[in-house]
Amino acid sequence: MQKKREKFNKVQSKPNFWTIVLSTLAAFIGVQSNRNRARDFKYGNIYSFIIAGVIFTIIFIVCVTSVVRSVLNN
């Protein structure tokens, strides 16, 4: 019983860097689970998710632009 409680408390804690990255990526492609979304809204800092979202959006735009330029040059 103690192990289940520890696992539950670990899941219900403040998200770390990698949790924010994975959660942002999952939300970015539309596969974020309801449990993770609820955890993010309850324990997460909105500014860290906004910054991660902006960074991933910029990376996405750069990747798409690079692919389009590469295809058009060939």
Predicted confidence (pLDDT) per residue in 5-26, tens digit: 555 555 567 888 999 999 999 9
Distance of CA 14 to the CA centre of its chain: 14
**pLDDT < 50: residue spans in the chain:** none
The 3-state DSSP class for residue 13 equals coil
Range of the domain at 39: 2-73
Please, what's the b/e burial string for 6-30 (b: 16 or more CB within 10 A of its CB; e: otherwise)? eeeeeeeeebeeebbeebbeebeee
The whole-number pLDDT of residue 9 equals 54
The pTM of the full predicted model, rounded to 2 decimals, is 0.71
Q: How many residues does the chain have?
A: 74
pLDDT of amino acid 53: 94
